[in-house]
Amino acid sequence: MAKAKIKDVAKLAGVSTSTVSLVLNHKGYVSELTKKKVEEAVAALHYVPSEVGRNLSLNRTNLIGVIIPDIAHPFFAALLHEIEIALYDCGYKTMICSTGEKKNAELSFLDMLRRHTMDGLIIGAHALHLEHYQEVDLPIVAFDRFLSDEIPIIRADHHQGGQMAANALLQRSPRHVVQITGAPTVHTTAHEHEDIFATCIKDAGVPLDSIVMPANAFRPEDFAKAAREVFERYPDVDAISGTDLGAICALREASRRGRRCPDDLSIVAYDGTYLTRLGPQTMTAVVQPIPALGRRAAEAIVCRIRQEELPSLQPLPMDFQQGETC
């Protein structure tokens, strides 16, 4: 049996195709009698409206792009999970772009937004230069990244997070702290926690050194290499801070070298994803409010699309997970 078309519905209902379109899209005035005839014709013919056609007529796609550095990274995977659920609840579907090892992926999504093949973008990657966003007057929300004065930023309170991580280690009276940091060439507000952490440690008079990760290094083997460098360069280290993967790799490397945590080594993780609770020792961790961050990002982009007032964009407070590594 051939699939029913809108003209078949119109013929059965005795109305024009434009009237059928008005009824299906809930636009314009149609009498209750005519509306009932159209609905009965739709039911009788099992007519399914074309989503593409409907969206074109309404100048929308109900599709939002989310750009992240690496979908396999535990923090971004968890964040994406929360964003996707929140967007779905608002009537939108998610298109994901993981920029790792892809050239021009971020620019490609930005071009899709310009061509109206998606309604908005949530940007959490750090590849494009800022000038690409300076003249863009489109629905965009940034995650942990400054793009322009006109583009809202969703973020946690990394100033608070840096203080929490430093205080946790300082309570152990460390003699030499090493911090595993992100690449300074990547402009993200998340780096604030590294700067605050360093300030707190130095103000306490404790020697501090850093192992700097390469740009866009998100694989477990990248963090394992950084953890090895910590102990090879600074064998006297007795306190380590880093994001979850860096901290977990440092704990594993410490065990391999016969170092016992927390007896002679303290480690604090930053992000507090589920990984910090999977090993034989629960990691002491500063916890980002990932569910709240995901919801806020979704709410903000939907408000931008609908030209509604934005929710509060104050940094969200951090939490602390008291584990067994500090």
Same structural domain, 240 and 216:
yes
pLDDT confidence of residue 9:
84
Same structural domain, 283 and 212:
yes
Name the residue range of residue 245's domain.
Answer: 158-289
CA 326 – CA 55 distance, rounded (Å): 54
The verdict on residue 325 lying in a domain is no
Same structural domain, 298 and 149:
yes
The verdict on residue 322 lying in a domain is no
The verdict on residue 39 lying in a domain is yes
Same structural domain, 46 and 81:
no
pLDDT confidence of residue 28:
75
pLDDT confidence of residue 124:
83
CA 214 – CA 281 distance, rounded (Å): 28
Same structural domain, 212 and 167:
yes
pLDDT confidence of residue 304:
92
pTM given for the model: 0.79
The verdict on residue 264 lying in a domain is yes
Whether the Cβ atoms of residue 137 and residue 150 lie closer than 8 Å to each other = yes
pLDDT confidence of residue 96:
84
pLDDT confidence of residue 51:
57
pLDDT confidence of residue 53:
55
- Residue 131 contacts by C-beta under 8 Å, 6 or more apart in sequence? none
The verdict on residue 1 lying in a domain is no
CA 76 – CA 12 distance, rounded (Å): 51
CATH of the domain at 296: 3.40.50.2300
R_g of the chain computed on alpha carbons: 26
pLDDT confidence of residue 46:
83
Q: What is the pLDDT of residues 120-165, one digit of tens each?
A: 889 887 655 666 776 667 888 999 988 877 889 999 999 999 999 9
Q: 266 to each of 57, 167, 220, 277, how far by Cα in Å? A: 60, 12, 21, 16
Same structural domain, 101 and 203:
no
Whether the Cβ atoms of residue 254 and residue 228 lie closer than 8 Å to each other = no
In this prediction, the residues of the chain whose per-residue pLDDT falls under 50 are 56
Same structural domain, 102 and 167:
no
The residues facing 268 across adjacent strands are 241, 284
pLDDT confidence of residue 170:
97
pLDDT confidence of residue 137:
72
Q: How many domains does the chain have?
A: 3
Preceding peptide of 262 cis, ω within 30°: yes
CA 230 – CA 227 distance, rounded (Å): 5
